[in-house]
Amino acid sequence: MGLMATVTSEAELESDSEDENEVYSKILIEELIESLKELLTHFEHRTNELKDLKEKYVELMKQQESTLLDLKASKEGLRGFEFICITYEEKLKYLCQKLQEKCYGKSLSKLEIALEDFIISGIDRS
């Protein structure tokens, strides 16, 4: 059994003729079936590869989203921690000033407070 196809020549196209030439393929049906099977097998392998790649992509996107959420939570946590530190530092300075006022019986000048802050910050560095 051979394959049949039709080809229209240019002369026939120009003359708008309805006559067509028949061309028969020399490929056997078994060879054609075998070729189609090979193509389908190749297509199936490629489809499976693409499915695997898609699954990996989806997993990576989930990991990235999770990482971004973790980073955002960490950033928020650090902001809260920084706020607490600043608040405690201000409270501590206020309490130190009040304690010094009670100990010395008078309030310290701004220069004295600045000097003590400078000394304390120098101690914090070491």
Residue 88: what are its φ and ψ, rounded to 5°?
Answer: -65, -35
**pLDDT tens string 10-33:** 555 555 444 444 545 677 888 889
pLDDT band, residue 100 (cuts 50/70/90): confident
Distances (CA, A) of 81 to 74, 75, 95: 10, 10, 21
Put residue 6 in one of left, alpha, beta given phi > 0 → left and psi -120 to 50 → alpha: beta
110 or 9, higher pLDDT = 110
- What is the domain partition of the chain in residue ranges? 4-125
| pLDDT-above-70 percentage for the chain | 72
60 or 114, higher pLDDT = 60
SS3 4: strand
pLDDT band, residue 38 (cuts 50/70/90): very high
